[in-house]
Structure formats: structure tokens, C-alpha cells
Amino acid sequence: MAADTSQSVAKAAGDDVENDVAARGRSRRTDSDPTDRGGKGASGLRRALATHWYAWAMVAPVVLVLGVIIGWPLVRGIYLSLTDANERNVSRTIGVRHIEATYEFVGLDNYVAVLGDPVFLQRLVWTVMWTVACVSITFTLGLALANMLNRDFRGRAAYRMALILPWAVPGFVSVFAWRFLFNRDNGILNKILDGGGIAAIPWLDDPTWAKFSVVAVNVWLGVPFMMVALLGGLQSIPGELYEAAEMDGASAWQRFRHITLPGLRAVSMTVILLSTIWTFNMFPVIFLLTRGGPGDSTEILVTQAFREAFVSSPRDFAGSATWGVLILALLMIFALVYRRSLRKQGEVW
């Protein structure tokens, strides 16, 4: 769902200039500049209101919604992570009787407990491995397929349609389809292997194979988006560049290395960022395919947070909130580092 960010992320910075121009009709530049307004107090505020009231009125519904159903729960989530809330002491209504909350503020105890537990490190390591494996394989396959499809040949539309199919089917349906294929005793994959005289593979029942399987399914789900996005990028590279390179005697590999890859840079950066965030937070694949099992071998951070609050007994709301806050912190750090490294290389992002 974060997909749309891509475009605006990529050009957020550049847009400001345009907006400035676009807004010239009514808003004078001096008013748009926050530093300018700072010292003027009430009259400045009134003038800002007079100039910008329609813009503020237009964004008001979203700001309200963000504040009420995202901002407030977020603050509450952070607060819960500092308490000992679980299903026994939160406020709840049983029949007509309402029971008040009795949980208490415990400071950073939950964080100490979670970070001090080797489980956190295990989950983190596997989550990072899972993300890196999924994103790199998906990107490589997507790039290869996009390159193949970016050309005229008979049947191209049919291939494109077939390759995009995994994206068109709702994710949770596909995951069930794969669970069916992976089934140890009755799944078609093992029956095919059996036909070839190979012993059944415990796709979802062995820790190592289960890891392989979840990555495979996530790659299967992710390749179409990657492929289509990169195909769009490829089509925006001017053909003259290739012609010029070929005239100069550049080999296919050189053309790919020095024209295609740099030409795809912007779109690659965006899709890799998106794909990393999606994969890091990829709940359905793990939850529906293995439920984090066998044991806890495929549990990633988000499924762990979900398990704390909704699977384990008693439900540990504070613990889950703690995991949630830690996941958010990790993602923020990642986004900042990513952005900084792009900036260093001169990307506007």
C-alpha cells in the first residue's frame, strides 16, 4: 500500500519549486516562508490564515483522520509499551459489567526484557536475512525478466500477462495455493519429486526448508511488481543512447552496465526501498504459510509482535507494543540511513 509513495518520494524535493510557482495566484511568497512569519505574531498569523485558509481547509479532513486514528493510537501504543498491560488487566466489558484497567506504568522494563532476551537477536537476524534474500532475489529476477520483455517479439503480451498473474491474485489466496503445493504428504511438489524417485522434502516442516519456502513464496509474489516497475524504467531510457554505444563498439554487457543500469537508478532506488519496507513488514506470507513455525524458526519481527498479543496466552499487549515500537524504530533508522546514502550520491529524494 505504500506503493504510491514511490513517485512522490522521488520527486518531493523537486516539486516544491513547482508548487511555489503553481501557488503564485493567491499566496505571496513571503507568506509561504515560515521563517518570515515567525516574528510577526498575531497579525502574521491572521495574514497567513487569510492567505492559506483554503489550503488548510482542504487538508483538514486528512489531518483530523491522521491525528485521531493514527496519531492517538501511536501515542497510546508507545505508552502501552511502558506498562504491564495484558489481557487480564486492560479495561474490558464482559456482558454488562465493565471492568476498569488496572495495569501500571513500569518504565522501560519491557524494553530491557525484550532486548535482553536472545530471542530478539534471533528474530532480528532472521528478519534481516529474510528481507535481504527476498529483496535481492526479487530485484534480480525482476530486472532479468523486465529486460527480456522490453523488446518486440511474438507472444510478448502473453508472457507479460502470465508473469503478472501472481500480482493480480490477492496475496493471501496465493499463499494458500502455495501451502497446498508444499503439503508434505499430498502436495504436488512432493508427488512430482516422488515420481522422479526423490524422497519427499519437508517444505514447511523443517526449519531450513521452511525458511527456503517462505522466501520462495515471497519472491514469487514480489517479482511482478518489480518487473513491471523496472519495465517502465527501461522504456524511459532513450534508444539513441544504445545506438550511440553500439556505434562506439560497446558490447552487450557494456551497454547493460553503462546505460541500462544507470538509467534504471532512480526507479531501482524507489522500488528497492519500497520492497524492503514491505518485506520487512510482510505479515501474511509468514503467518499464513508457517505461522512462524516449525517451532519459531520462520518468525519475523512483525509476526512475533502479533503472536505476543493475539496468539500466545495470556495475551501480552505491553510486550507486543514494545516489539512494535522497536520495529518502527528500526525502520526509521533504515529509512534515514538510506536517504542519507542517496543524498551523498547526489540523489534528490
Partner 1 sequence: MSTANTAATTTADKATAGKQTAGKATAGKSTTRARGSRSPLASVGLHATLVVASVIAVFPVLWIVLTSLKPAKHAITTDFVKEPTLGNYTYLLEQSHFLSWFANSVLVAGVTTVLGVFIAATTGYAVSRFKFPGMRPLMWTLLITQMFPMAILIVPLYNLMGDLGLLNQPLGLIITYLTIAVPFCAWMMKGFFDTIPVEIDESGRVDGLNPFGTFWRLILPLAKPGLAVTGFYAFITAWGEVAYASAFMVGEENLTLAGGLQTFVTQYTSNWGAMSAASVLIAIPAAIFFVFAQRHLVAGMTAGATKG
Quick one: which of 194, 268, 281 has its CA closest to 237? 268
Residue nearer to partner 1 on the CB measure, 168 or 208? 168
Residue nearer to partner 1 on the CB measure, 133 or 230? 230
Q: Which of 107, 197, 239, 346 binds partner 1 (CB under 8 A)?
A: 239
Residue with cell 522466501: 215
Q: Which of 30, 140, 251, 345 binds partner 1 (CB under 8 A)?
A: 251
Quick one: which of 126, 88, 123, 118 has its CA closest to 104? 88
CB of 223 to partner 1, least distance (A): 8
Residue with cell 500500500: 1
Residue nearer to partner 1 on the CB measure, 249 or 314? 249
How far apart CA 214 and CA 127 sit, in angstroms, is 12
Q: Taking CB under 8 A as the criterion, which residues in 167-186 touch partner 1?
A: 167-174, 176-181, 183, 186
333 binds partner 1 (CB under 8 A): no
148 binds partner 1 (CB under 8 A): yes
Q: Which of 30, 102, 140, 235 binds partner 1 (CB under 8 A)?
A: 235
Q: Taking CB under 8 A as the criterion, which residues in 305-324 touch partner 1?
A: 305-306, 309-310, 317, 320-321, 323-324
Stretch that binds partner 1, among 15-23, 105-113, 118-126, 198-206 (CB under 8 A): 15-23
CB of 276 to partner 1, least distance (A): 10
Pattern 269-288, partner 1, x by CB under 8 A: xxx-----x--xx-xx--xx
Residue nearer to partner 1 on the CB measure, 91 or 136? 91
Residue nearer to partner 1 on the CB measure, 281 or 297? 281
Q: Taking CB under 8 A as the criterion, which residues in 63-102 touch partner 1?
A: 63, 65-66, 69-70, 72-74, 76-77, 80, 90-93
Q: Which of 30, 50, 55, 99 binds partner 1 (CB under 8 A)?
A: 55
The three-state (H, E, C) secondary structure of the chain, written as one string:
CCCCHHHHHHHHHHHHHHHHHHHHHCCCHHHHCHHHHHHHHHHHHHHHHHHHHHHHHHHHHHHHHHHHHHHHHHHHHHHHCCECCCCCCCCEEECCEEECCCCCECCCHHHHHHHHCHHHHHHHHHHHHHHHHHHHHHHHHHHHHHHHHCCCCCCHHHHHHHHHHHHHCCHHHHHHHHHHHHCCCCCHHHHHHHHCCCCCCCCCCCHHHHHHHHHHHHHHHHHHHHHHHHHHHHHCCCHHHHHHHHHCCCCHHHHHHHHHHHHCHHHHHHHHHHHHHHHHCCHHHHHHHCCCCCCCCCCCHHHHHHHHHHCCCCCCHHHHHHHHHHHHHHHHHHHHHHHHHHHHCCCCC
CB environment 320-335: b (16+ within 10 A), e (fewer): bbbbbbbbeeeeeebe
Stretch that binds partner 1, among 107-115, 131-139, 206-214, 302-310 (CB under 8 A): 302-310
Number of residues that bind partner 1 (CB under 8 A): 145
Q: Taking CB under 8 A as the criterion, which residues in 106-135 touch partner 1?
A: none
Residue nearer to partner 1 on the CB measure, 133 or 289? 289
345 binds partner 1 (CB under 8 A): no
CB of 171 to partner 1, least distance (A): 5
Residue nearer to partner 1 on the CB measure, 124 or 141? 141
CB of 207 to partner 1, least distance (A): 18
